[in-house]
Amino acid sequence: MPYKVIEDSPADFRERLFLPEVIRGVGIIAKQFWRNFFLQRDPNPDILLRKTPTVTIQYPEEKQPYPPGYRGLHRLVPREDGKPRCVACYMCATVCPAQCIYIEADEVEGDPIEKYPKRFVIDELRCVVCGFCVEACPKDAIRMDTGEHAPPTYTREGQLLDEKALLRGAPVSYQYDPWLRRGATAVDPKKLEEMRQRAKPFPAGATDELSQTPGFSVRQLAAEAKGRGA
Amino acid sequence: MADEQKPSAPQAAAPKPAPPPGPPAPPPPKNPGMVTLTIDGKEAVVKPGTLVIEAARQVGVDVPHYCYHKRLTVAANCRMCLVEMSNSPGGKLQPACQATVAEGVAVKTETPKVKDQQRAVLEFLLLNHPVDCPICDQAGECKLQDYYMSYDQQASRLDMPKLVKSKRLPLGPTVTLDNERCILCTRCVRFMREVAKAPQLGVARRGSRSYITTFPGQPLDSKYSGNVVDICPVGALTSTDFRFQGRVWFLSSARSICTGCSRGCNVHLDYMRDSTYRLRPRECEAVNQEWMCDQGRTTFKPWNTDRVLQARVGRGEAKAARRAEAVAQAAARLQESAAKGQLAALFSPGCSLEDLLAACAVAKGLGLTEVYVGGRPDGWQDEFLKRADENPNRRGLELAAAAAGLAVRSIAELAKAIADGKAKALWAVGSKVPSPTAAAVFARLETFVCQASSQDDVARAATVLLPQAPVPETDGTFVNFAGRAQRFERAYPPRGESRPGWALCAELGQALGQATAWTSAREVFQALGRGLALGDFTWDLPPASRARALSPAPAGTVDGRLPGYRESADKVAADIRAKVTG
């Protein structure tokens, strides 16, 4: 047999009397009732940090956060100058098993990425929330880290999210980003320098793009990895 | 480097009167008159002077290469095709694209030494490559990507910044250059010098700072410059017209014929859904080898935009009519004027042979004895590919008219007949006319039935307008200037209400009470075209290869639809058409 059957233990005399157990159950319910009735609810909006034993969450005014790694609503990750990181390479649209991503590319002047999505539409009704688009993206330009599920709408068209609706959330820059490495005439030089300062350093694993950045060293990366005992 | 010519064939071993002392005489060849060698254990028998890479291809061994192109001189500068040959001095690797075959030689392309060399060459070629595949139009048909996955598969070990060169440099009206992606194989330089006979490209500077460039102040404006995009094995030279229009792995490909002139270059017609995205030359030794002119590459634009998609009855603010209704109207008016002897027929040599066969049969049934020839006016001509006659099927029209017993008249005679009052009604198949004033003349006719695919002046002058599908939306045949009949295949179904020319003629014929119930272009050809003098032409194309290698899949094997957003498909399709039209 592939699983183990646990037999209920036979009821003892007190349980067979029935009444004491009923009284005990009513007591548990009454305890919760009086506690919720008289004790102050902790108003902390971050419900995970609440001190009181009140467990009821007043949905939808209060929402329990989804765990990290939850694949929520998509977002197009912005650069610090407000443009999308996306370069319209169609990798997400290619890998999408539900064919829910529609992209139209266009040329952009004054930026080494040359190409940007003139239109980027995701049909959230068609999406199967597999996260392949996030995996396929070579530029970390699409993420599902919003921690929201798709909001309900009255129409189907409301579930078609275009590039304006999708472009939101915290901006991200990496030191190897072409617009930081090579400069972009379309971006104000001061702003560009600020973006360079705030750019994220190299991730632990070396990628080919990293080697295009001045100061990059494979040997240094290897030494660091050795130090970590990797 | 690129000056080297193809090595001439070695002289057949002549019997010498007195063999000198020394090494023993080579054994006699296994196959007299041919050279026998083994490639990866397979025996190849080839002509003397054959290159090893070609001999390997004959026995099914694919040697990776970048700079070698069978229609260009040998440069042997990419070093990707190095193989082991048993006759090489010191066991050194030999370039298979430059070494010629020799009797009894054993060639090995799979040894660890060769593999190491291939990995090393790829690492070298990719050393300063920007790896910007996400924004590169070549991605999907790039030899660097393919060979990296087949032969390299290792991370870059470069420990210093990559070289910075010029990107998105417009070389001319049709070609955009990205020097960082270039591997300096000089295919483009050799093509411009040897095939296009317009040496407009060259390599400047030395070593790792070399780059492809035009001469100062001279753009790459040859009429054949588009071919350098096709032969570039990487994403350095890309088409300005196709730039960022779509990813190549979404495109499907149909075998088609260029409609730009009477040469009839064989082309791949790359399409997605119901739009054509680009034309690429298709290999045909007898017609265009594997080249085509830049003008031919733009001939797909009218198929995507300003199309006649609905039938119309009446001029001016007339409203669209259902096609069946319009055909009935057209048939009634044609019959009426034909009975009075006032009808003339104007057939365009831009239509397919099947369209014209059907049209001639219907014209014969109407009692006509002559047809007038429309078509585009003559253009430029050169000694390579382009012909002055910019109509793909003039010979086909002549053949079809002769088969139906109709005399062929020029459009000048039609103008005269209209001026004399002999012709008061006109039936046009195809709306292209050589003279710009013809539309104004047609606009004064009392009856003008026109089968047109584009909204031009002639189509606007029609009293009954029938929507005709252009080349990618039907099967058909063109007969080129030399009398060679060539098939093109349907890529996607006709847009809107439009139907192929032969189908419209069949509908007209049926409305006139003729027996013209054809259901396919093949049936039209079988019924009417069997007696034509087309040599050994067979209508049915061989089945398309299903291999999905560097070129997109053949027509019909993938659904070719746009990913996503299908609820608003029509809206999206309209946007795409506007973009492709440019």
* B432 and B496, same domain (yes or no): yes
Work out the minimum CA distance from B181 to partner chain A, whole angstroms. 14
Q: What is the mean pLDDT of residues B122-139?
A: 93
Are the C-beta atoms of B521 and B474 separated by less than 8 Å? yes
Bigger pLDDT: B253 vs B181: B181
Bigger pLDDT: B144 vs B557: B144
Cross-chain CB nearest to A115 (options B244, B565, B579)? B244
Question: What is the CATH classification number for the domain harbouring B272?
Answer: 2.20.25.90
Q: Which two tokens stand for residue B261?
A: 């002139």
Query: Has residue B568 been placed in a domain?
Result: no
* B390 and B412, same domain (yes or no): yes
Work out the minimum CA distance from A127 to partner chain B, whole angstroms. 10
Confidence (pLDDT) at A8: 87
Confidence (pLDDT) at A202: 59
Query: What percent of chain B has a predicted confidence (pLDDT) above 70?
Result: 90
Confidence (pLDDT) at A38: 81
Query: Has residue B240 been placed in a domain?
Result: yes
Q: What's the distance, CA A190 to chain centroid?
A: 30
* A44 and A110, same domain (yes or no): no
Confidence (pLDDT) at B568: 41
Mean pLDDT of chain B: 88
Rounded Cα gap, residues B552 and A95, in angstroms: 17
Closest CA to B228 of B213, B216, B238: B238
pLDDT of B579 strictly over 90: no
* A143 and A81, same domain (yes or no): yes
End-to-end, the C-alpha distance of chain B in Å comes to 40
Task: Name every chain B residue with its beta carbon within 8 A of the beta carbon of A206.
Answer: 155
CB within 8 Å: B564 and A104: no
Name which of B162-171, B219-228, B251-260, B558-567 the model is least confident about: B558-567
* A150 and A186, same domain (yes or no): yes
Residue B24: which pLDDT band, with cuts at 50, 70 and 90?
confident
Query: Has residue A134 been placed in a domain?
Result: yes
Residue A36: which pLDDT band, with cuts at 50, 70 and 90?
confident
Work out the minimum CA distance from B165 to partner chain A, whole angstroms. 11
pLDDT of A69 strictly over 90: no
Residue A211: which pLDDT band, with cuts at 50, 70 and 90?
very low
Place of tokens 């999308």: A84
Q: What is the pLDDT of residues B235-270, one digit of tens each?
A: 999 999 999 998 888 888 889 999 999 999 999 999
* A128 and A180, same domain (yes or no): yes
* B322 and B432, same domain (yes or no): yes
* B162 and B61, same domain (yes or no): no
Q: Nearest-CA residue of chain B relative to A114?
A: B135
Task: Name every chain A residue with its beta carbon within 8 A of the beta carbon of B135.
Answer: 87-89, 113-115
CB within 8 Å: B131 and A208: yes
* A189 and A111, same domain (yes or no): yes
Cross-chain CB nearest to B159 (options A89, A106, A217)? A217
Confidence (pLDDT) at B14: 55
Query: Has residue B28 been placed in a domain?
Result: no
* A35 and A125, same domain (yes or no): no
E strand segments, B334-399: 343-347, 370-373
Q: Which amino acid is at A61?
A: E
* B319 and B357, same domain (yes or no): yes
* B355 and B482, same domain (yes or no): yes
CB within 8 Å: A121 and B564: yes
Query: What percent of chain B has a predicted confidence (pLDDT) above 90?
Result: 77
* A141 and A194, same domain (yes or no): yes
Confidence (pLDDT) at A216: 53
CB within 8 Å: A119 and B249: no
Q: What's the distance, CA B251 to chain centroid?
A: 15
Residues of A near B (Cβ–Cβ under 8 Å) read 87-91, 93-94, 96, 99-107, 112-115, 119, 121-123, 126, 138-139, 156-157, 160, 178, 182, 206, 208-209, 211-214, 216-219
Total tally of structural domains belonging to chain B: 3
Are the C-beta atoms of A113 and B134 separated by less than 8 Å? no
Q: What is the pLDDT of residues A49-66, one digit of tens each?
A: 777 666 677 788 887 778
Query: Has residue B111 been placed in a domain?
Result: yes
* B464 and B358, same domain (yes or no): yes
Are the C-beta atoms of B301 and B265 separated by less than 8 Å? no
Query: Has residue B509 been placed in a domain?
Result: yes
CB within 8 Å: B155 and A121: no
Q: Name the domain boundary from B303, B334, B356.
A: B303
Cβ pairs bridging A and B (under 8 Å) = 88
Work out the minimum CA distance from B20 to partner chain A, whole angstroms. 60
Task: Name every chain A residue with its beta carbon within 8 A of the beta carbon of B249.
Answer: 94
Q: Does B158 touch chain A (CB under 8 A)?
A: yes
Q: Name the domain boundary from B75, B102, B124.
A: B124
Q: Nearest-CA residue of chain B relative to A141?
A: B134
Q: What is the mean pLDDT of residues B204-218?
A: 93
Name which of B28-37, B98-107, B351-360 the model is least confident about: B28-37
Query: Has residue A96 been placed in a domain?
Result: yes
Q: What is the mean pLDDT of residues B161-186?
A: 93
Which one-letter DSSP state was computed for residue B355? H
Mean pLDDT of chain A: 83
* B149 and B190, same domain (yes or no): yes
Total tally of structural domains belonging to chain A: 2
* B55 and B202, same domain (yes or no): no
Residue A3: which pLDDT band, with cuts at 50, 70 and 90?
confident
SS3 B138: coil
Question: What is the CATH classification number for the domain harbouring B93?
Answer: 3.10.20.740
Q: What is the pLDDT of residues B401-428, one digit of tens each?
A: 999 999 999 999 999 999 999 999 999 9
pLDDT of A215 strictly over 70: no
Work out the minimum CA distance from A170 to partner chain B, whole angstroms. 23
Name which of B102-111, B313-322, B373-382 the model is least confident about: B313-322
pLDDT of B566 strictly over 80: no
Measured between alpha carbons, how far is residue B356 from residues A49, A84, B253, B362 in Å?
82, 53, 26, 10
Question: What is the CATH classification number for the domain harbouring A212?
Answer: 3.30.70.3270
Q: What is the mean pLDDT of residues B139-150?
A: 92
Q: Which two tokens stand for residue A55?
A: 């467990």
Q: Name the domain boundary from B124, B146, B168.
A: B124
Confidence (pLDDT) at B157: 83
Work out the minimum CA distance from B161 to partner chain A, whole angstroms. 5
Cross-chain CB nearest to A102 (options B158, B161, B563)? B563
pLDDT of B155 strictly over 90: no
Query: Has residue B482 been placed in a domain?
Result: yes
Cross-chain CB nearest to B563 (options A99, A106, A160)? A99
Query: Has residue B312 been placed in a domain?
Result: yes
Residue B6: which pLDDT band, with cuts at 50, 70 and 90?
low
Domain that residue A205 falls in: 75-217
Confidence (pLDDT) at A57: 78
Query: Has residue A127 been placed in a domain?
Result: yes
Residue B570: which pLDDT band, with cuts at 50, 70 and 90?
very low
* B65 and B180, same domain (yes or no): no
Q: Does B134 touch chain A (CB under 8 A)?
A: yes
* A136 and A35, same domain (yes or no): no
Contacts 24+ apart (CB under 8 A), B76-79: B76/B4, B77/B1, B77/B2, B77/B184, B77/B185, B77/B186, B78/B121, B78/B125, B78/B183, B78/B185, B79/B117, B79/B121
* A122 and A191, same domain (yes or no): yes
Quote the crossing angle between the two packed helices B323-340 and B501-511, to the nearest 10°: 60
* B319 and B365, same domain (yes or no): yes
Query: Has residue A171 been placed in a domain?
Result: yes
Residue B511: which pLDDT band, with cuts at 50, 70 and 90?
very high
Q: What is the mean pLDDT of residues B63-85?
A: 95
Strands B35-39 and B106-108: parallel
* B352 and B423, same domain (yes or no): yes
Query: Has residue B376 been placed in a domain?
Result: yes
* A35 and A139, same domain (yes or no): no
CB within 8 Å: B135 and A102: no
Question: What is the CATH classification number for the domain harbouring B365?
Answer: 3.40.50.740
Domain that residue B464 falls in: 305-528
Task: Name every chain B residue with its beta carbon within 8 A of the beta carbon of A126.
Answer: 564
- The radius of gyration of chain B from alpha carbons, rounded to an integer in Å, stands at 28
Confidence (pLDDT) at A74: 93
* A131 and A38, same domain (yes or no): no
Cross-chain CB nearest to B575 (options A104, A139, A213)? A104
* A52 and A135, same domain (yes or no): no
Contacts of B311 (CB under 8 A, 6+ apart): B320, B321, B322, B323, B325, B326, B327, B464, B465, B466, B467, B497
Query: Has residue A37 been placed in a domain?
Result: yes
Query: Has residue A3 been placed in a domain?
Result: no
